[in-house]
Structure 1
Amino acid sequence: MNILQLDNVARLPMAGDNVAIATQRLEAGTIIAAGHQRFALDYTVLEGHRFAVQPIATGEALLSWELPFGVALRAIAPGAYVCNAGMLDALRI
């Protein structure tokens, strides 16, 4: 089991953020240790992309730099890859 410290593989720009920014490619199933919690990434997260670091309820704002950049359409668990339809379309081959 690969366990990585959050600060070594991602940035949480502000203390109030609920998503982190990956600083390298992180494979699905990687365990991230953040403080007293550990969670597994549900999908591969590319460098510069975001994943949840705490539970986010349906309708709650997604925060990076303590600024909202989206709203959760469903409940999001820690370790979930955070994306939107436009990003998924752009990544399709």
Structure 2
Amino acid sequence: MINHSEKIKTYTDAYYSGIYTKDEAIGAFLGLFAEVSDVRALWSEIPDWAQMPIQEYLKSCDDSAVLYDSSSKNIAPIDPRLLELKRWLASK
């Protein structure tokens, strides 16, 4: 099984090689937060170029936010771990 650090590297490499757009890579990073128990540890591994857009995006999210995954075409309520990340970032 691929660990989260390897997934981040894969998504980052895909962005740098032109396979993913910046928004697609950021969307993939957001998806990783639903898979971890420690959002702070994962946050420290997210590339700098993606951190600010993620922070800005999360500012507009609340418990009623619905996320659309363009690669899988899934629509789902925002994961509670993303809201946890939002609260932690706001407290920094």
In which range does the TM-score fall when normalised by the shorter chain?
0.3 to 0.5
Q: TM-score, normalized by length of structure 1?
A: 0.32
Q: TM-score, normalized by length of structure 2?
A: 0.33
The structure with more helix, counted as a fraction of residues: 2
The structure with more strand, counted as a fraction of residues: 1
